[in-house]
Amino acid sequence: MSALFPWSAVLGQERLKLALLLCAIDPAIGGVLVRGPRGVAKTTLARAFAELLPGSFVELPLGATEERVTGTLDLGKVLQQGEVQFSPGLLARAHQGVLYVDEVNLLPDALVDLLLDAAASGSNVVERDGVSHAHPARFVLMGTMNPDEGELRPQFVDRFGLSVTADGALPPAERAQIVLRRLEFEQSPQRFAERFAAEQRVLRERCAQARERVAELGFAGPGLARVAELCHAARVEGVRADLAMLRAARAHAAWHQRSTIEVADVEAVAELALAHRRRVPEPPAAPRGSAGSASSAGSSSSAASSSSAASSRSAGSGAAPAGGSASGERGVLPPVPVPARPVSVPSSWTRAVAQRGSAGSQRLVASGARRLRRHGTRSVPGSIDWFGTLLRNPRPSVQELRRRRRNVPAQRLWLILLDCSGSMLRSGALALAKGVAAALTAQAAAAGARVALISFAGATADARLGAAPREVERALAALGGGGGTPLRSALEQALAVCRSPSHRERTLEKRALLLTDGRTRERVADLSASWRQLSLRVVDCERGPLRLGHARQLAAVLGAEYAHVDSLLDPSA
């Protein structure tokens, strides 16, 4: 077996190391979600991390079927001996080790739901095709993703215990040292591993001792009150953040051989539990006189702060500051509030299509996955159709096995193009347009769709791509307005998003909503051929007694559906 790059030889990524060590001590924390670009040692750390655990490293491919993950009938036994016997899947192989999912945001929702259920319960139960089997499945789930390729749905993000943004910006000296170590490893893997063998042995022993010690630690103490205070101040939904933070703080205390959970333990892990759940930008200051955090992986308070800032930048995807967007001339004006009068969009705009599956069908698959497994329902897509197979041939060969048709669910990408120009601001239309955009974002989130916001005013268009719906809502609230109407730039940027590699999937349905009063001097007729291939709806936001009808003309030029913003106002309000 070839040598692995040792954990002790990995430079940097101290917050990620800390998160993984905490989950190794207590897998009940719920796994680690890692955001960040490629080439920052995410996979290297995951493989090296498995060496510190009793189990093995198991990588789940994006194209895996549910049967391969959970396990199913042993086909050889059935066909050759007529015996019904369970064949373990990836969850069984990952027991007491690491289950690694690269690009977890591209994994089908049903499999994400399945993995998170197993990670939280520590067991896997399969009841179908004549098999009734349960086995332990306690593993550290590590999912990595590049936010530029699309976000993981919010309900799944929240179920990861900890979250880290991997740092891709390294100082020159550290970069040089990383490259040198990698070259040394490639030249002689065995000799390089021997160089760090002593450090690896100490690390494994310390992990094992912490795992034994963590069960003896209670949760009561000064740390518990600090957890409640931080989660309340961050306005997180539910108590998952409290549970993950308290378990992580207990693991941190066990790592440092403490007998109780101290405030310092909570401070060391707080951002790991809150980064993907926080609904306010900054955590509260630590109580006066409390000790600062000191993580075993070499992290410090300043490192945690920088990691928090990096996480906020990544999650916000360029959200504007409170004073308005920095694009064009909008930054000189304060944010425009959404209207007090209720605004809504018809449910038909975001309703799922039925033919090939959709984001709505994804939701049905995800919510029904446990019922399919636990109640023995035989309609799991991709599973073997034993009734159909045996009806054709009582003694089938492997080649004659029939599988149920797999319904590949389609996802939907919503592009919201928001006109923040001076004419929209002066007429009060911008506030209504923001209300429509917020309503569509909420509906899209409920349907599991992706959302990209492109606001335009002044000289340029400002895109926030792959942002979570909650972050889009924050960006909308922060937008100001003023200046000209660079409509052409916005339309071209939206087309570029649709043609980008991360949005070329055959099953990705693309829709766009253009909120504008149409008052622009730019010509866009030459873009009509491209836009007629997409589903575009223009919402006319022109207000006041003098209406020029430019938005209606624009919709006709681009071959788009047309609606006026007045039709979206609640008449009873």
- What is the structure's pLDDT at 37? 78
- What is the structure's pLDDT at 554? 92
Q: pLDDT for 82-137, tens place per residue?
A: 666 778 889 999 998 889 998 888 888 788 888 888 887 888 888 765 667 888 98
Q: pLDDT for 165-208, tens place per residue?
A: 887 777 889 889 999 999 999 999 999 999 999 999 999 999 99
Please state, as a whole number, how many other Cβ atoms lie within 10 Å of the Cβ of residue 489.
17
Residue linked to tokens 């490293």: 57
Q: What is the CA radius of gyration of the chain?
A: 26
> What's the full length of the chain, in residues?
573
Spell out the residues 6+ positions from residue 78 whose beta carbon is closer than 8 angstroms to its own.
84, 85
Residue 97 sits at φ, ψ, to 5 deg, of: -130, -145
- What is the structure's pLDDT at 450? 76
Spell out the domains of the chain, with CATH numbers in brackets: 7-171+207-211 (3.40.50.300), 217-312 (1.10.8.80), 330-352+410-568 (3.40.50.410)
Task: Give the helix/strand (H/E) hosting 435.
Answer: helix 429-446
Active site positions, annotated: 240
In this structure, what DSSP letter does residue 407 have? -
Residue linked to tokens 């926080």: 278
User: DSSP states of 293-318 as a string?
Assistant: P--TTS--HHHHHHHHHHHHHHHHTS
**Distance of alpha carbon 248 from alpha carbon 250, whole angstroms:** 5
Beta strands 460-467; 450-457: pairing state: antiparallel
Q: Return left, alpha or beta for 107; rule: phi > 0 is left, psi -120 to 50 is alpha, else beta.
A: beta
**Distance of alpha carbon 238 from alpha carbon 95, whole angstroms:** 29
Nearest to 432 by CA among 363, 342, 372: 342
Pair 254, 217: CB distance under 8 Å = yes
- What is the structure's pLDDT at 336? 67
- Distances in Å between the Cα of 535 and the Cα atoms of 304, 352, 566 are 44, 14, 22
- What is the structure's pLDDT at 530? 81
- Distances in Å between the Cα of 491 and the Cα atoms of 342, 430, 496, 552 are 28, 18, 9, 16
- What is the structure's pLDDT at 261? 92
Q: What is the pLDDT along the chain (573 residues), one digit of tens a residue?
A: 567 899 999 988 899 999 999 998 998 898 899 988 777 888 888 888 888 888 888 998 877 888 888 887 776 666 666 666 778 889 999 998 889 998 888 888 788 888 888 887 888 888 765 667 888 988 888 998 877 666 777 777 888 899 998 877 778 898 899 999 999 999 999 999 999 999 999 999 999 999 999 988 888 878 899 999 999 998 888 899 999 999 999 999 999 999 889 999 999 999 999 998 887 544 444 443 433 333 433 333 333 333 333 333 333 333 333 333 333 334 445 676 666 556 777 776 765 433 333 333 333 333 333 333 333 333 444 556 655 565 566 666 666 666 665 544 456 778 899 999 888 988 888 888 988 888 888 877 767 677 888 889 887 777 765 556 667 777 887 888 888 888 988 898 888 887 776 666 655 778 889 999 998 888 888 888 888 777 889 999 988 778 888 999 999 989 899 999 888 886 665
pTM of the full predicted structure?
Answer: 0.58
